[in-house]
A and B are shown apart, each in its own frame.
Chain A
Amino acid sequence: MEYLDQIIGLFSDFSNPKKRVFVGYLGLSVLIAFLWLILFQKTSLRTALARIFDRKVFFSSSAMTDYKIFLINRIFTGFISPLLLTQVAIATAVYMALVRSDLTLWGAYEHVSKPLVVAMFSVAMFLADDFTKYLMHRWMHRWPALWSIHKVHHAAETLTPITVYRIHPLEGVLYASRNAVAQGSVISVFYYLFGNTVDLYTVVGVNVLVFVFHVTGSNLRHSHIDIRYPRWLEHVLISPAQHQLHHSIAEEHYDKNYGAALAVWDWVFGSLHVSDGQKDMKFGLRDDEKHPATSLLTAYFTPLREIYDMSRATIGRLTSKARQRLRLPRHHAAERDAQN
């Protein structure tokens, strides 16, 4: 019986509306994909069905690796979830720093109408979350050590909703920490200003804005259904096609579209690339990354090996620099020679 519970536990994300792969969101994503294909791509019903449930995608060796990583990582989640406590610690630390500060704003706005506070809080939580996701994602691509970790995700050659779980456990830790810092700070600042009025607008227990993101097809970002938005909208929201482009192997698509829900961050910081209608984009990594899509060993151990090598090289560089510094300056050497 216990075994059964544990096995069911492995798949609990599918029944949790806080998770992207909640069955309800998956179902809506299928519906959206279906409508997109029929109404905008003018495909037949039969073709649409065949495209959505494409065996070549869902049973590709890359996707099979996604599934395995999903299952293996579920075991790591047990190590990650205690970080929820950290969020309390961060929130408390930020809050007490504000209490200690000379700001005299403690509870200063607690009489502001509740709906307004809740609306502002819901938006602030969403923005803080989305912006820090953007930042973290950008760093994951631009810092070599972080890229080693994030490559695990980009090694996927086919994209399915489960690809969100194709991730090195270290990245999971980083993401959970980011979440704790971002949301812990927003909660504490709001609590400091507005006291017990603070609350979230939620639907099925989820921030209403996150809910909107999910019901409008967040699962299609990792899929082969390249839904595009009008050009202006792709400056505000990241479309599935824009995120697929982020996974593209083509050089012009490198380091573009880091955003999660909002495209404005990419737009402001110059990494935006609107979808260009390019068919049959190739996903994955270049050969010189030496990171095959299907190797579990590579997925879990190569990032560690690469980070180890990088730190050794850095330490080596630093010690040789230090040695050079410690050498006698030139004129001292000349004096010494003269004395001899």
Chain B
Amino acid sequence: MNRSLKLGTSLVAAMLLSSAAYAESYGPYPITEKSYSGDKTNSVSYSGQVARNVMIDSLKKLAGKANGGANAEELKATMMLYFARANKEDLAIVSHEGKDGFPIKQTMVNEISSSSNLVGKTYGGLVPGYPGSKTGAEVVEHMIHHAAMSDGGVDYDLGYDYGQLIQKFLIGAVSYNQIVDNYLDEKMTAGNKPNNKPYSDGAAYTGKEHSWDEGFGYFGAPAHALDLDANQAYGISKKKELAAGDANGDGTIDLKSEMTFGNAYYAADADKSGTDYLHTITSAFIEGRKVITSADGAALTDAQLSQVQALAATIEDEMTKVLAEATFKYAGSVYKDIEKIRADKANIDDKVYRDYIKHWGELKGFAMALQTGRENLGGTAVRLNRLIGYGPPTKDESVVTGIDADGNFVKEGKMSWNTYQLNMLKVQDLLLKEFGLEARKNDGTENLAALVKELDTDSGGAETD
């Protein structure tokens, strides 16, 4: 009796310990699709989404190769392939190249997936934050056109960092939009992609399983994200943390399951300030997948559907907050950059100005990304777009006001550094109120808070007259 008690206790303890040490991964999950006759044993598949995340990041890298016009045509053609390839062209993974001490398994996009492109999955609505009444795809094409003609992806005169603008916008317009407005939205209703049918003929997964997996793929977290803390998840993307990223221990990072991309990367970035977006979202994905798997290839019951929809709602809320946190963070960066610029307006430091344009690109890209969700942000979007404008104040305080009939940027406005810096505070204020942010990186009121603490006026406390 005593012995079996000891044994039992040790077993329970060992189980608890191992579950603490190895949190649940997203997959593998068994095959429940009854019509499948192949020899696969894992129904999880989201390589097309990983390929898209890779192409989004590659576009940023490519924009940097612009050399002031000489290679414009060629570069534009290349960038357009990453955005809208139609014939399975194999493309180099320029965004995630391995290096000494951080080998990466794949070097070509087709090693991940050959059939996917971005254009077909880009937000189809109008993008009000961008001049010229363009759809998401038209915005990207317009930016690619100008990026290819720029110098290193940056137009100092207009204040645009195209690489940042394109990448940040697509994190929303493709990845976020596909999750919240497609795979976890209409595809999680009873009639759409039912669980008692394969996603497509002959597939190893059901309609619901694959829709959910695609959502997770777009999110961009490593499958073992729950095992990682924010710094590790973030570090993988920075080509650090090989040990943490290499879940299967084969010594390389498999982009298909061990890399942190886009939305997940910014969730981890926020989490470094104490939030828990990455784990909350990943857990919701895992829970939802388990509900779907538990249906064992039958149509989801109403109860299962509402469970899955509730988890989808959590994912949407948290992902939206992550984009808002990123917008908040870069509004704060721009605020701080302008602080430095204003210290000596007549002689703006090149490095400061370069950082400012980069940060503005990130801010603008995320602000537009935030508006590609399922819900129309209404007045919040209008205010956000007006505060941020079509472009930042450039060296002589002139700003882009629109585009002409030929698609060229028109820069006819003026905006003082002072006013624009104040606008950044208002952007942060707006985001804070609308989305209830918690990470609040680069808060523009940091200096005030520091001043209050520095003055450290005697808090009164226990004395009186």
Residues of A that sit less than 8 Å from B by CB: 18-20, 73-74, 76-77, 80-81, 83-84, 87-88, 91-92, 95-96, 99-100, 106-107, 125, 129, 133, 137, 140, 150, 153, 164-165, 167, 169, 171-172, 175-176, 178-180, 183-184, 187-188, 191, 196, 198, 200, 205-207, 221, 243, 246, 260
Contacts and interface: CB of A to CB of B under 8 A. Distances in A.
- Among B429, B451, B452, max chain A CB count under 10 A is at B452
Interface in B169-185: none
B344 interface: no
A308 B158 CA distance: 67
Contacts of B464: 137, 140, 150, 153, 164, 167, 171, 175
B449 A92 contact: yes
A83 B422 contact: no
B100 interface: no
Contacts, number: 108
A80 B459 contact: yes
B425 A87 contact: no
A16 to B, nearest CB: 8
Contact of A187 (B425, B429, B448, B462): B448
Contacts of A164: 463-465
A196 B446 CA distance: 12
A133 B459 contact: no
B447 interface: yes
Contacts of A137: 464-465
Contacts of B429: 96, 99-100
B459 A176 contact: yes
7 contacts: A87-B457, A88-B448, A125-B457, A167-B462, A176-B459, A187-B455, A207-B457
Nearest to A177: B460
Contacts of A91: 448-449, 452
Contacts of A106: 418, 422
Contacts of B462: 73-74, 76-77, 80, 165, 167, 169, 172, 175
A246 B447 CA distance: 42
Contacts of A96: 425, 429, 445
Given A20-B463, A77-B461, A99 B452 contact: no
Contacts of A95: 445, 448
The 10 residue pairs across chains A and B that have the minimum distance between CB atoms = A179-B460, A175-B460, A172-B462, A164-B463, A18-B458, A73-B462, A176-B460, A88-B449, A106-B422, A167-B464
A92 B459 CA distance: 17
Contact of A107 (B422, B451, B459, B461): B422
A105 to B, nearest CB: 10
Interface in B311-354: 339
Contacts of B451: 187, 191, 198
B426 interface: yes
B453 interface: yes
Interface of B: 339, 418, 421-422, 425-426, 429, 445, 447-449, 451-453, 455-465
B460 A92 contact: no
A88 B450 CA distance: 8
Contact of B452 (A76, A100, A107, A184): A184
A246 B452 CA distance: 33
B463 A99 contact: no
A174 to B, nearest CB: 9
A129 B457 CA distance: 10
B88 to A, nearest CB: 52
A207 B451 CA distance: 14
Contacts of A200: 455
A187 B453 CA distance: 11
- Among A99, A164, A169, max chain B CB count under 10 A is at A99
Given A80-B459, A164-B465, A187-B452, A99 B418 contact: no
B458 A19 contact: yes
Given A99-B425, A179-B460, A243 B449 contact: no
A171 B461 CA distance: 8
A165 B452 contact: no
Nearest to B417: A107
Given A81-B459, A99-B429, A246-B465, 11 more contacts: A77-B461, A80-B461, A87-B457, A91-B449, A95-B448, A125-B457, A164-B465, A175-B461, A187-B451, A200-B455, A205-B456
Contacts of B465: 133, 137, 164, 221, 243, 246, 260
Nearest to A73: B462
A253 B356 CA distance: 65
Nearest to B429: A96
Contacts of B459: 80-81, 83-84, 87, 176, 179-180
A172 B448 contact: no
B418 to A, nearest CB: 6
Contacts of B425: 96, 99
Given A96-B429, A106-B418, A106-B422, A87 B452 contact: yes
A92 B451 CA distance: 11
Contacts of B455: 183, 187, 200
Contacts of A83: 459
A210 to B, nearest CB: 8
A189 B270 CA distance: 31
A169 B461 CA distance: 9
B461 A99 contact: no
